[in-house]
Amino acid sequence: MRLAMALLAGLLFGLGLSLAGMTQPAVVLGFLDLFGAWNPRLLFVMGGAVLTTAIGYRWVLRRGQPLLEPTFKLPTARQIDRRLIIGAALFGIGWGLAGYCPGPALASIGGGVASVLLLVATMALGWWLAMQWPAQARSTDTQ
């Protein structure tokens, strides 16, 4: 059941990204081009996501537990540390260079475009490398 719900959520998310044009790097890069041909479409997508999340979290967290898990798994870290800053900077640089963030990149894999496949492969490598960061460094960065 959990796998079916995850698949449904992923399909819905990918469909939303596709309908909003977020799988087209030109739309994303147009949003980042503040002093050129600025395209505000991404601003509306982000605003809708923030609003949906704000309402959704309040509604879901009123329940005692999730539908398919025994407990909620919410982040506990509250500090802005070196690891967060480096990760955010790398994410932003990659997003600006490629025109894709992880969700739209994964939603675009089916197109078979070589640059998207390369991007997803390097994203996976980055995730793997981040997990190789020594556990001691991870625990001290978040304290």
CB 142 within 8 A of CB 84: no
CB 27 within 8 A of CB 39: yes
Q: Which two tokens stand for residue 59?
A: 């509604």
Q: Which two tokens stand for residue 135?
A: 């556990």
CA distance 104 to 100: 6
pLDDT in tens, the chain (143 residues): 889 999 999 889 888 888 888 888 888 888 888 898 898 988 898 899 999 999 998 999 998 888 888 898 888 888 898 888 988 898 888 888 888 888 888 888 888 888 889 989 988 998 888 888 765 555 555 44
Terminal-residue alpha carbon distance, the chain: 36
pTM of structure:
0.67
Number of domains within the chain: 1
- Evaluated on CA atoms 132, 135, 140, 142, the torsion sign reads positive
Can you give the residue range of the structural domain that contains 76? 2-141
CB 106 within 8 A of CB 100: no
Classify the phi-psi angles of 112: left when phi > 0, otherwise alpha if psi is within -120 to 50, otherwise beta: left
The amino acid sitting at 65 is Q
Q: What is the 3-state secondary structure (H, E, C) of 52-119?
A: HHHHHHHHHHCCCCCCCCCCCCCCCCCCCCHHHHHHHHHHHHHHHHHCCCHHHHHHCHHHCCHHHHHH
